[in-house]
Amino acid sequence: MITEEDVDLLLNDLLELYGYDFTHYSRASLKRRINRLLALDKFPSFAELRYQIRSDAHYLKRFVEELTVNVTEMFRDPLFYKSLRTTVLPTLTSKPFIRIWHAGCSTGEEVFSMAILLKEVNLLQKTLLYATDLNPEVLETARKGIFALGPMKQYSENYILSGGTADFSTYYTAQYGHVKFRNDLAEKMVFSTHNLVSDRSFNEFDLILCRNVLIYFDKDLQQRVLSLFDESLGPLGYLALGAKETLNFSSLKPMFRQLEGEKIWRKIG
Amino acid sequence: MAENRLTHPCEAIVMGGSTGSIEVLLSVLPQLPDPLSFALIIVLHRKNTADSTLANLLSLKTTIPLREVDDKDVVRPGTIYLAPADYHLLIEQDRTFSLDDSEKVNFSRPSIDVTFESAADVYGSSLVGILLSGANADGSAGLRAIKKAGGLLVVQQPETAQVGFMPQQAILNTAVDYILTVPQLIDFIKSLNLTH
């Protein structure tokens, strides 16, 4: 097991040598992931892991990929998607053009879920879906729209619970243990690296989704990122967070109104 | 071990369980003294649903404040915390909770090992780990971490558990301090309380 000082050393290295700033990430989770990587890659000591990171840019890629959590699923928290479908998207129909930002989209399962929703309410053709993550590797997966076949049964159940009425399997073709989602779903997606810690706002959006990303940040960084979202939302825009995340502790709270029982806030100020 | 406890008062109890452990909690919770002088942190394997029925059910059984953890909640003595479904529950050095939706551990999220290891790191010898009924091996590694940090280990007597596998694994793999029946467990937790 590594010490707090070890974590400090590594985080300093990442910042000074490579410009990755993890210093305001939740410590307990970071420490666990570093320990996990020590075991996975069979490093005999912390010093050897540190040396590898300092001297091998190729390994750095793997390290950052494993340090950040890339677990996601389609239609995660189906009732959340139901609210998007029935409450949020109908208020956007009169807009000539819709911009949505998935911040920290990981491998893109939620971006494809959103594209399916938009398709079903006939809004996809006038929407742009910006999907960003700090990790270029996961974006490559997202761009391809190819996912493992295994969880599709679960995703199909989530889809139905979210209010979907089509046959979920019409949205993809299955081959060799993987599925490829239809090209027309991906046409309106723009994938790009964006680091919530260091990068600025890049557009004005009607809806920002950032689900289960803030839990990995400390309170200071959460506040900074929420301000970034505030700057990036148009009037009456929506912010959607993960099931256990909130902006109640943020100075932004008075400018937003929370939708009844949901982790969705509308900008009113 | 008893001297150990006196010199290092209990700051937190982490309690983990799987199949058959809700019944144990329903017996234990009504018997606990209010106020508690420590935080009681409960990690149960449960179905992946976002509702908080379980927290509501458990809170009916006690006058002690009981809540399902939200991200960045402060760990306070006198409160019972329940790990939310589908998240790992970790504790930071500043005694706040953080959540994590990374890979399942022992096919479980929340995983008992994850919370136990993280709590051991923060509370050291003032931590007590309790492992209840269950059908998998989650919790054993966590108990080892607690032991290494100087904390106390308690497991439910496997013969009295609905499913004895989980406590049995812990007994085989770790030097546990106490193997207790449910009534003994209740007395043990009461004995840790400084206000009574």
**Domain spans of chain B, in order of start:** 13-193
Domain edge (last residue) among A67, A101, A121: A67
B72 shares contact with chain A (CB less than 8 Å): yes
- Chain A interface test: which of B48, B71, B86 (most A C-beta within 10 Å): B71
Q: Two tokens at B55?
A: 């927290």
A132 backbone dihedrals φ, ψ, rounded to 5°: -130, 155
Count structural domains, chain A.
2
The DSSP secondary structure of A69-116, one letter per residue, reads -----TTSSHHHHHHIIIIIGGGGTT-S-EEEEEET-TTSHHHHHHHH
State whether A95 and A60 are in the same domain. no
ipTM: 0.92
Q: Residue B143: pLDDT above 80?
A: yes
Cα separation of B141 and B114, whole Å? 9
* Contact at CB, A26 and B91, closer than 8 angstroms: no
Which chain A residues are within 8 Å of B118, Cβ to Cβ? 28, 32
Q: Residue B5: pLDDT above 70?
A: no
In-domain check, residue A209 = yes
Distance in Å, alpha carbon of B102 to nearest chain A alpha carbon:
6
Q: Note the pLDDT of residue B6.
A: 47
Cα separation of B30 and B60, whole Å? 9
* Domain boundaries B13-193, corresponding CATH code: 3.40.50.180
Cα separation of B136 and B139, whole Å? 9
B91 shares contact with chain A (CB less than 8 Å): yes
Cα separation of A131 and A111, whole Å? 7
Cα separation of A163 and A184, whole Å? 21
Q: How many residues does chain B have?
A: 196
pLDDT band with cut points at 50, 70 and 90 for residue B3: very low
Each residue's pLDDT tens digit, B80-131: 999 999 999 999 999 999 999 999 999 999 999 999 999 999 999 999 999 9
Each residue's pLDDT tens digit, A56-108: 989 998 999 899 999 999 999 999 999 999 999 999 999 999 999 999 999 99
Q: Residue A27: pLDDT above 90?
A: yes
Q: What is the CATH number of the domain that holds A143?
A: 3.40.50.150
Point out the residue among B98, B114, B145 whose CB comes nearest to the CB of A215: B98
Cβ pair B122, B92 in contact under 8 A = yes
Domain edge (last residue) among A18, A43, A67: A67
State whether A220 and A91 are in the same domain. yes
Q: Other CB atoms closer than 10 Å to residue A71's CB: what's the count?
A: 15
By annotation, the residues of B acting in catalysis are 18, 45, 138
Point out the residue among B70, B72, B100 whose CB comes nearest to the CB of A69: B100
In eight-state DSSP terms, residue A200 is: -
B23 shares contact with chain A (CB less than 8 Å): no
- Dihedral in degrees, nearest 10, Cα atoms A132, A133, A134, A138: -130
State whether A24 and A87 are in the same domain. no
State the average pLDDT over residues B161-173.
96
State the average pLDDT over residues B44-72.
88
Place of tokens 């770790």: B174
Using alpha carbons, list the distances in angstroms from residue B153 to A147, A204, B75, B132, B138: 42, 54, 21, 11, 15
Half-sphere exposure of B155 (CA within 13 A, CB side): 31
In-domain check, residue A72 = no
State whether A251 and A185 are in the same domain. yes
CA-CA-CA-CA torsion sign (A250, A246, B120, B101): negative
Which chain B residues are within 8 Å of A242, Cβ to Cβ? 101
Q: Residue B52: pLDDT above 80?
A: no
State whether A54 and A185 are in the same domain. no
Q: Give the amino acid at A65.
A: E
- Chain B interface test: which of A8, A30, A32, A71 (most B C-beta within 10 Å): A32
Each residue's pLDDT tens digit, A175-222: 999 999 999 999 999 999 999 999 999 999 999 999 999 999 999 999
State whether A166 and A38 are in the same domain. no
Q: Which residue of chain B is at minimal alpha-carbon distance from A30?
A: B100
Distance in Å, alpha carbon of B57 to nearest chain A alpha carbon:
20
Q: Which residue of chain A is at minimal alpha-carbon distance from B68?
A: A244
* DSSP-assigned beta bridge partners for residue B127: B12
Cα separation of A53 and B155, whole Å? 41
Which percentage of chain B shows pLDDT scores above 70? 92
B194 vs A264: which has the higher pLDDT: A264
State whether A197 and A114 are in the same domain. yes
Which chain A residues are within 8 Å of B121, Cβ to Cβ? 1, 28, 31
Q: Note the pLDDT of residue B47.
A: 72
Cβ pair B36, B63 in contact under 8 A = no
pLDDT band with cut points at 50, 70 and 90 for residue B51: low
B121 shares contact with chain A (CB less than 8 Å): yes
State the average pLDDT over residues A250-269.
94
Which chain B residues are within 8 Å of A33, Cβ to Cβ? 102
Which positions ≥6 away from B152 have C-beta within 8 Å? B1, B4, B5, B10, B127, B128, B129, B146, B177, B178
Angle between helices B112-123 and B140-148 (to 10 degrees): 10
A201 shares contact with chain B (CB less than 8 Å): no
Each residue's pLDDT tens digit, A99-120: 999 999 999 999 999 999 999 9
State the average pLDDT over residues B13-17.
98
Which chain A residues are within 8 Å of B98, Cβ to Cβ? 26, 28-29, 215-216
State whether A156 and A212 are in the same domain. yes
In-domain check, residue A217 = yes
Q: Note the pLDDT of residue B7.
A: 55
Q: Two tokens at A141?
A: 């997966």
* Contact at CB, A222 and B91, closer than 8 angstroms: no
A223 backbone dihedrals φ, ψ, rounded to 5°: -60, -45
State whether A57 and A101 are in the same domain. no
State the average pLDDT over residues B43-67.
87
Q: Note the pLDDT of residue B1.
A: 46
Q: What average pLDDT does chain A have?
A: 95
Which positions ≥6 away from B146 have C-beta within 8 Å? B14, B116, B119, B120, B127, B128, B129, B152, B153
Write out the H or E segment, with its range, that includes residue B136.
none
Which positions ≥6 away from A143 have C-beta within 8 Å? A108, A186, A189, A191
Q: Note the pLDDT of residue B49.
A: 61
Q: Which residue of chain B is at minimal alpha-carbon distance from A25?
A: B98
* Residue numbers of the domain that contains A181: 78-267
* Contact at CB, A77 and B92, closer than 8 angstroms: no
State whether A216 and A190 are in the same domain. yes
State whether A29 and A102 are in the same domain. no
Domain edge (last residue) among A33, A67, A101: A67
Record the pTM.
0.93
Q: Residue B28: pLDDT above 80?
A: yes
Point out the residue among A28, A77, A242 whose CB comes nearest to the CB of B90: A28
Cα separation of A185 and A90, whole Å? 19
A168 backbone dihedrals φ, ψ, rounded to 5°: -55, -35
State whether A99 and A220 are in the same domain. yes
